[in-house]
Structures are given as C-alpha cells and as structure tokens.
Structure 1
C-alpha cells in the first residue's frame, strides 16, 4: 500500500513538472508568435492562409510548423533514447552517444556532395541507412569488451568524433555544396511548410504504437537473456526490433532538422527521477516531456536577447544535455578498459641514447625535405629559394613539429598518470579546454599576443582538467570513466564554440580555422613560442622519470616509497595541460597525436618511462610534420588542415585499439 501511494505521489510530481514545462513553453511561444503576427490576426490567418499577407504566410507556414516540429523532434528523440536504453540495459545509450545521429548526418553530407541523385529518394532513407551503419559499427567495435555499457558509449562517442572530422573535411573541400547543409545540421528548426512535420508525425506515431504494443515484452529485456529465453521469448529478435525502431526514429529526426544532442539521454533519466519507474509510464511520459522541453528550448533561442535569435536549437540543447551525461557517469559501471600494465607488445626494446640521436637526425632530415619539396607553379619541385622557404614554409613546419612534440609528451604523461593506454589530451577534454580559454580571450580582447593566447589556453586546459579531476574522484578515477568525462566536457566546450560561430563576428573565422587545426596562418610569434615551450618540456621531462616509474608500481607501493600521490599527479597533470595548451594554439583541439604517438612507440616495444616519452615526442613531431606537408601538397593550391588529417587517422586507430584490447 505504501509503495502504491509513493508511486502515485511520484506520478503527480511528474505530471506537475510536465505541466509547468508546457506552460512556460506556451507562454514563450505566444510571445514569439505575436511578434510574427498580432494575436488579433491569428483567426484570419488560420482560416484563409493562402490569401493573406506576408506576415500571415510566415505565421502559418513557418512559425506554426516550427512549433510542431520542435515538439515532434523532442518526442521522437526521447522515445528513441528510451528504446536504446531499454534494449541495451544501458542508461547512457541514446542516438548521440551511440553514433546514430552522426552516422545519419555524415551519410546525408556524403550523398549531397558525391551522389546528389540519391536525394531523389528522400533524405530520410539516406539518413536512416547511415544511422544504421554507424550504430552497427559501434556494436562491432565494442564486442571485444563484451559490449559493456561504458565500452559501447565510448565507442559511440569516438565514432561521433571521427565522423565529425570527415564531415569537416568535406565541408572544407566542397564549401559551395555543403556549407548550407553543415549549418542546417547544427539542429536548426526553421520550416517553410507543413510537409516535414506531417512526415515526422507519421513516423513518431507508428514507432510509438509499436513500442506500446511491445511494452510488456520489452520489459523482459531488463532480465538476463537466459531467463528471457526460458520464458519462450527470443531476446535477439526482440532487441533487434527495438533497436531498429530507435534507429529509424532518430534518423528521421536528423533528416528533418539535423542533430539535436543528448535529448534521448537526458529526458528518460529526468522522467525516471521524477517518478516514472516502469516502462509503461516511461513510454507515455518521456516523449511528452521531451517534446515540451525541446519546444521550450526552441522558444528560448528565438528570443531576440539570445544571440539575436540565430543560435541553433540543437546547439543550445546539446549545451544543456551534456552535463546530464556527466551526472549519469557517476552511476555507470566501470571496467571496459584494462590497465596500462597489460602491454600491447610481447617484446621490449632497450632504447639507448644513440637510438634517440639517430631518430633526431632522421627527423632533421625529414624537416629539410618537407621544407624543400612541394608544389610550385610548374608542379613538383625541390626549392632552394631561401626567401620562399622562410616566408611560406618555415614557421608552419616549426610550429607543426613543436606541437607534435608537445602532444607526444602530454599523451604519455596522461596515459601514465591515469594508468590508461587509451587516454589522450584530445579525448580527455584537455585540448577542448584550451579552445575554451581562447574563446574567452576573443571576447575580452580583439588584439592579443602569442603569450596572451598561451596563457588563455593554459587556463582553459587547467579548468577543464580540474573539473575532470573533481568529477573523476567520485568515480574513483576509473580509467574508462575518466575518458568519458573528458569526452562529455569536450561536448560542452564544442557547444560553446558552436554558439560563438553561430553568433558570428570577428571570432568566427579564427575559430573555424582553429577547430580544423590549420597551420596555414601560423605566425612567427606563435611558432617561436611553441618551439620554446617544446624545448623546455624536453628539458623538464627527466625530472618526471622517477615519479612516473613509482606510479607505475601502484599507489600503495609508491606511497610506501615516499611518493606523495596527489601532489605528484596534480603536478604532472598541470605540466600536461600547459604542454597541450601550447600545441592547441597551432593544431586545434582534435588532432589525436597525443593518442597515436605513445601507441606507435609502444608497438616498437619502448615501454620504459623516459625513453617512451622522448620517443613519443619524436613520433609526434614526425606525425604533425607529415600531416602538415600532406595538407599543403595533396590538393594544392588548396590547403587541408593538419589537425583534421591526424584526427581522421587517430579516430579509427583509437577504435581499433579499443577492440584489440577487449
């Protein structure tokens, strides 16, 4: 009796919250609609829309359809997220975290640029196909880790990053074809007719009806598969059908308005917290609550005081939804990724100083080659023109090599401190923090020096790192959880960057160039600053050898040998954050060099701390130098950003490594 009374009270709380959100959304909608058309003219516009004024046409065929699409998108994504979570028994699953939305977005962009004839069949089939392929890839990658909740989400989020990099390269190479679609896929809800709303409504109602009919069977998926089989059901068939519905619904939303992140994650969790305990209640309340919340968010971004009404709704919702992921991570189980003590190689190499000296000579020779070899007016050439090299190539080569060295060092330090071979400054959000600091600097001042930029980037990196440490402490610093926290923080910073880009102004061009990791605009001041920082980093590294070696023995052993664990970790993370900030000035926030370089040297059997750091620094320099040279020669006279090239390689390598270590 007491439990039934408690459930009844919870239902009242949920109903009150839904009513409150609905009233707030309705009030803001009424205010926004009356700015399009006065209230007194609404009846005439609704009865005779085709014979009215421009304002009446905008009211009937733009403002009202946008309101309907906002509700339908929120309801559809909430239902999709709920089905993903129920099918996978994973409270972190939803279209954004599983790569489903990213797959739909990438497939539409690829079709638009390379096969526009496919669009004749409609955007929805293409988006749904891409969503299905990306989701299947996530499940295949995470199979090695037993498809644990954390491994699935980690694979999905890195698939998001990789597909996002591919989309960024396509937009860069084909701006005239893809720029409008890229803007649209930030989650813009503007409409010009009722067609998209009717199509989305049909898809949502059909999916909701099937889910309601399967509700009792879907509840069985909360139990172990052997129990479900003993009850006469086929869990694989039931799970496959549920996932198919979720993918179709999510793909339809992306095809209609683009990506709206984290709704499918946040809304079912919020509905459960407010009192919807069983699946039957969730199927009713989650879509309703999700629809009303997106309506409220969409009405907020239309207010003139919010970025002059130009902020995409998807960006705003992602900015609000990513923190929900951070909260849920504290409740998720760990164990998807093993400790670094399990080395990927069975042999070890004793690296001597002469080996490092030889590598340095090879790097120097490679630098000379990349400076001299390139495209000219007459094609490929070996240039000895000192003025040409000094003016167009030297600074970007110095900057690229220095950034690679810093990221290689930072990658090894982060992996050693977290005892996690899949950690990196880019994945853990340290690079994104540097971007956040740069954005703040652009708002404070339009004229700044390279030193100012370094301080701003370092401050941003430290802030994000501090947030990661605070949140990670609650998760007992589990290696896989730390990575997910970093990726969630990166999503928040990415939403902030998208907000700045949407607002426009002088910061827009710089941020777009920076996000891509282009070395084309590297100044001599920036190159020299980062080179000096890289030299200092190499000189300081020997001081970290003993603390890192002791940390590798385990906390208890290190503490018994006199090492102050918290202070040591804090100092090393601080050092890594400053190094990452310096590199981010040159190559942007998503290069993956900090992940690739340590893995490259580990594959050669270099596992001792100090040799591994120096070898990773050299490998990082070579990677960035190669990416910079390819970026300025592959599609000459156009440029391909070095950061995007390395990210395009690093994402798949990360996923391959994750599967191999399962």
Structure 2
C-alpha cells in the first residue's frame, strides 16, 4: 500500500459530489423541509415530490450505475491484464445500445419487460466479436481496445442509420448522446441495486481464481483453474453489468476505465480490494459527474447529458496509460509481396468511377420500382444530382490522399484522418467557428475546420514522436483524441439551439447540401492537393525509411513534415465539411491502392485519389437510394464499411 495520503483524492471527490448534490437539492428546497422517509406523495408539496422522486433517485442511480461500471471495468482489466479495458473501450456498451435501438424501431413489444435481455444480447454479440479478434492477436491490450472502440463506432453509426432510415430524426440525438440520468421514480434504482448485489456476490466468488490468473496461464492451470470457464464467467459477468446499465440509463463511457485506474493509483493490488474499491470509486465518480451536470444546469440553464461529461475522462486517461501498456508479440508470416502495377492500370478505377457516377445520374425511383430515367427527367434532375456527385467524389479523393500522406509520413499503415483524430479536430474547429461567428459563412467554417484538423494532427503526431509509438499505439492515441472531440460535440448538441442542429447535420454528413459552387470548389481543391502531393512524391518515398535516412538523402525533415501536415489538414478540413467525422475512406483508399500493387508514392497517391472518389460516390449512391424516401447520412453510411474494415485489418492481419 502507498501512504494513506493518496486516499485524499477519493475523499475530496466524495465531498465534492455531496456538495454538488446538496447545492442542487438546497436550491430546490431547504434541508429542513426535505420529506421524511417513507415518502407519502399525498402529504408532500410539489418541491418535496420532485426531491423525493427526482433528485434522490437520480443520485441513487448515478451511484449504482457507476458502481456497476467500475466493477465491470475492474473485472475486465484483471481478466485481460489490460489497464485500458472497460465496457466502453471494448464496445460492450455500444452493442447493448444498438440492440435497444433496433428493438425500439422494429420490435417495440419485445422491450416491454425484456429491456435488459435485449441489451444483454447486443452486448454479448459485441463482446464476442472483440474477443474473437483479440484471440487471434493473443489478447494484445492495444489491439483489443482498438477493436472494441471500432466495434463501438460501428454500432453507433448503425444505430444512427437505423433511426434515420425510419425518419425519426429526433431520436438520433438520444442515440448519439445517451447517458441521461433523469428519474421519475425509484424503479430504475431498485433494478440496478438488485443487479449490483448479485453481480458483486459473483465477483467476490471469482476473486480468488482471478488472483491465481495473475500467475500466468501455466501457473493457473497447474493450480487447477479452468481458464476457458474462468474467462467465460468473468467476461459474462462484466457484460451483464454493462448491459444492465445501458438498458437503464444509456451510454455512460469510461467510468469503468477511470475507477480501477484511480484505485490502483491509491496503491491497492489485491483482487478483492480492487473489485470492491473500483465499485465504490465508480459510484463516486459518476455521482460527481452528474453533480457537475446539475450544477451547470442550475447556473447556465443548459442541460448536458451525463454521458458526455464522463466521455471527457477517456482521452486523458488513455493517453496517460498508453506508454505504460505492454504489447504482446504476435508472430508474423513475413513480408507481404506486392505485385507492382503499371500506371496504365489506373484506367480501371477511373472507368468504375465514371460508371458509378453515370448510374447515380441515370437511375431513379418510379411507380414500378427503380429504373433508368427518361432523357427529359435526367435533364430536369441533372442540376440537382451532378453537384452532390462531384462533391462526394472530391471529398472522397481528398480524404484518401490525406490518408496516403499520413501513412507515409508516420510509416503507419493504419493512419488516416478519421482514425488519428484529425476529423474530430475538424469538428471542434467547425463548432468553434459557428460559436464565435453565429452567422459564419462557408469561408469561416472551412477555416475553422481546417485549423482544427491541423491542430489535432500536430498534437497527436507530436505526442507519438516523443514516445516513439508503434502503429497500434498511435492508432489508439488518435482514437482517444477522437473520443474526446466526440464528447465535446455531444455536449454542444445537448444545448438544443441552432448551433446544435448545424453540428448534428455535420456529424452525419450529407452531399444533399452541396451546391454547384461548393462542388466546384471542392473539386478544384482536390486537384490542388493532388498536384501538391505529386510534387512531394520524393519526400513521401523517403520519409517511411526512418529518422536517419531522410536527412542523409537531403530531405529537410522538419519542413517536409510540416508541409505534409498542412496539406493533409487542409484536405481533411475541406472534406469533413461535407462528409463529417466518420467515413474511413481515408483509411481504405490508400490500403486498397497498395494491395492493388500501386506501391510507388506517385502511383499510390493517384490510385488512392481515384479509389477514394469511387468509394464516396458509391456511399452517396447507397445513402440516397437504400432507404428511399429517407436519406442516410453520407459519412455514417461509409463508416458502416470502414470501421469493420479496420477491425478486420487489426485482427486478421498476420
């Protein structure tokens, strides 16, 4: 144990949470007038009823939900020997939320009395996917968490797509934000209390086998521990606890990560003590965060979801823990051979791009289904369709070229604007522009998005270069920054003013807002970025060779990196204005180009440009036609393919 002084931090958090709750309660009713237990609504005033059935149950739910998440996080961390595992980083909570959204939209009767079972099914499927990927990578901590976060991104994108496909635009806010703890009675608190008591008792029974597991697989087996059944039991218990919280209050992120981290920083190491203390710390943390939300609501008249506030904890914690994580060595099958293609092979993606664009212009929904439009209708619809097709193609090419630049700059095959947080930075810049300039035009929004993208890219790459992060670690650092920017945007969305609707429209991304002028500007910018990238081809060929080789070959290292960062940030900021933060075209375009044999820098840039345009044009066609007459967000539709692609790339590459 460390000195007892380290317990001062939890003590202050507890006192602060109590003070915040007391502030909210006293502002409603003096303590002397609080209702006595047992509560009798017939003898209580309106303020007393609000206190007894609103604020008090809300505090109880915060403590119980936080305790359940803290316990689940501690179980997963001890099981996987992974200090960054928790229900949110492993995608469990997002899977539960997706199941609830799908049942609400398509099978609402199933939710009546079976909400926890629905959430448990979604959480179990998400956990099964992540654990199957982790098993192929020997449960490497970084690969597990990256896969879990990508499964969570896919589940969130699919939730939003399902909601929008039914035309329930208001529900997209609930799906996107989540984590509201407002209560009207004690039913949720009672249900969470029962789940926590049962889960806590089972966790205490599993504490000794978990302690023996710390000796290693061989040592645990020699002492009679069945590793398969132990892992199944512990992971199932953690999934059940997280699913219960998701079913009751929605998505509350990173409490399961923060609570065990706080407990270990206080010096506790024994499994039983860590489990109990993590549950207590989780309850205190969520109570404290909810108190901050109530205090902000009382002082600013703005209501924020508690889940958005807890999301702000994730990025600093992940970045702080990242250098302390050990990576399991996975055997490689050797170098991958690439059949180099001639530049003339670029004709194929160009032909496919023209074919998809033609389909987008010529087909339409008629009384008897989809068919080729007559020439007169094509002529009438052409002014509406060609701008969105051109804008989508230009945005896709910009993201793909930005991904190529970042992958060659960092020598990291998994770097892309969306993955390392650049698109999230563009979102923060976009939000800052509309906050500072309420009547901001396209130029101000573009400038804000570009500056935000460049700033975040510089921060992530500086952090990675100082710590010499491996590709998977850089990926996790970027995703941590992305989660932070998403939490900030979610908090801004909850305000509910005109700014919120502008951010919501940007988050989904839609080419329907493209005008002839904006489409032409994006196209010219794509050509400009292509020309600059081709001029930088020599630097792009030399930079992946390491730190010492480029200066020896006459490449000015610092100016080269700065120029590439500026070009990639400019491309990302411009494309994100149309596509939003999630598409993963910036990841898929360079990868497909490289696997197709375009290995030289100039060839990869050209191929990625065409492939990115093709992918985004296909995404626009699908978003516009798949759920007609409703239109899916362009960025979310592309993310449904991009996030699984990245998860497959992490888990199945050898």
Contact 2:69 2:242 survives alignment (8 Å): yes
Q: 1:365 to 1:22 in 2, by over 3 A?
A: closer
**Alignment partner, residue 394 of structure 1:** 386
**Alignment partner, residue 54 of structure 1:** 46
Q: 1:306 to 1:268 in 2, by over 3 A?
A: farther
Does residue 371 (structure 1) correspond to residue 364 (structure 2)? The answer is: no
* Secondary structure of 1:302's aligned partner: helix
Runs of 4+ aligned structure 1 residues displaced above 6 Å come to 335-341
Q: How far has the Cα of 1:306 moved from its partner? A: 5.9
Q: 1:388 to 1:631 in 2, by over 3 A?
A: farther
Q: 1:183 to 1:641 in 2, by over 3 A?
A: closer
Distance in structure 2 (CA, Å) of the matches to 1:620 and 1:50:
65
The Cα offsets for residues 11-42 of structure 1, whole Å up to 9 and x where unpaired, read as x2244333222222112211211233332321
Contact 2:97 2:250 survives alignment (8 Å): yes
Q: How far has the Cα of 1:368 moved from its partner? A: 3.9
TM-score of the pair, normalised by structure 1: 0.93
Q: How far has the Cα of 1:44 moved from its partner? A: 4.8
Q: 1:479 to 1:302 in 2, by over 3 A?
A: same
Q: 1:153 to 1:503 in 2, by over 3 A?
A: same
Counting only pairs closer than 5 Å after superposition, residues 591-630 of structure 1 correspond to structure 2 as 591-630=583-622
Does residue 33 (structure 1) correspond to residue 25 (structure 2)? The answer is: yes
- The alignment of Structure 1 onto Structure 2 pairs a total of residues equal to 651
Q: 1:363 to 1:119 in 2, by over 3 A?
A: closer
**Alignment partner, residue 317 of structure 2:** 324
Contact 2:101 2:175 survives alignment (8 Å): no
TM-score of the pair, normalised by structure 2: 0.94
Q: 1:636 to 1:486 in 2, by over 3 A?
A: same
**Alignment partner, residue 508 of structure 1:** 500
Q: How far has the Cα of 1:447 moved from its partner? A: 2.1
**Alignment partner, residue 553 of structure 2:** 561
Candidates 454, 458, 478, aligned match of 1:462: 454
Distance in structure 2 (CA, Å) of the matches to 1:250 and 1:213:
19
Counting only pairs closer than 5 Å after superposition, residues 349-428 of structure 1 correspond to structure 2 as 349-352=340-343, 354-357=344-347, 359-360=349-350, 362-375=352-365, 380=371, 381-384=373-376, 388-428=380-420
Candidates 542, 545, 555, aligned match of 2:537: 545
Does residue 644 (structure 1) correspond to residue 636 (structure 2)? The answer is: yes
Candidates 57, 61, 74, aligned match of 1:65: 57
Candidates 273, 276, 283, aligned match of 2:268: 276
Q: 1:553 to 1:522 in 2, by over 3 A?
A: same
Candidates 60, 67, 75, aligned match of 1:83: 75
Moved more, 593-602 or 388-397: 388-397
Candidates 515, 518, 538, aligned match of 1:523: 515
**Alignment partner, residue 3 of structure 1:** none
The Cα offsets for residues 223-272 of structure 1, whole Å up to 9 and x where unpaired, read as 21001111222222222222121111111111110111011111111121
Distance in structure 1 (CA, Å) of the matches to 2:188 and 2:177:
15
**Alignment partner, residue 223 of structure 1:** 215
Distance in structure 2 (CA, Å) of the matches to 1:67 and 1:420:
45
Contact 1:426 1:592 survives alignment (8 Å): yes
Does residue 348 (structure 1) correspond to residue 334 (structure 2)? The answer is: no
Distance in structure 1 (CA, Å) of the matches to 2:333 and 2:294:
49
* Secondary structure of 1:374's aligned partner: strand
Q: How far has the Cα of 1:280 moved from its partner? A: 2.9
**Alignment partner, residue 261 of structure 1:** 253
Counting only pairs closer than 5 Å after superposition, residues 207-222 of structure 1 correspond to structure 2 as 207-222=199-214
Q: 1:307 to 1:421 in 2, by over 3 A?
A: farther
Contact 2:167 2:630 survives alignment (8 Å): no
Distance in structure 2 (CA, Å) of the matches to 1:139 and 1:105:
19
**Alignment partner, residue 93 of structure 1:** 85
* Secondary structure of 2:578's aligned partner: helix
Give the root-mean-square deviation of aligned CA atoms: 2.4
Moved more, 391-400 or 365-374: 365-374
Does residue 151 (structure 1) correspond to residue 143 (structure 2)? The answer is: yes
**Alignment partner, residue 115 of structure 1:** 107
* Secondary structure of 2:364's aligned partner: strand
Distance in structure 1 (CA, Å) of the matches to 2:563 and 2:173:
44
**Alignment partner, residue 326 of structure 2:** 333
Contact 1:105 1:185 survives alignment (8 Å): no
Contact 2:361 2:378 survives alignment (8 Å): no
Q: How far has the Cα of 1:335 moved from its partner? A: 6.4
Q: How far has the Cα of 1:377 moved from its partner? A: 7.3
Q: How far has the Cα of 1:385 moved from its partner? A: 5.3
**Alignment partner, residue 240 of structure 1:** 232
Does residue 204 (structure 1) correspond to residue 196 (structure 2)? The answer is: yes
Contact 1:334 1:481 survives alignment (8 Å): no
**Alignment partner, residue 421 of structure 2:** 429
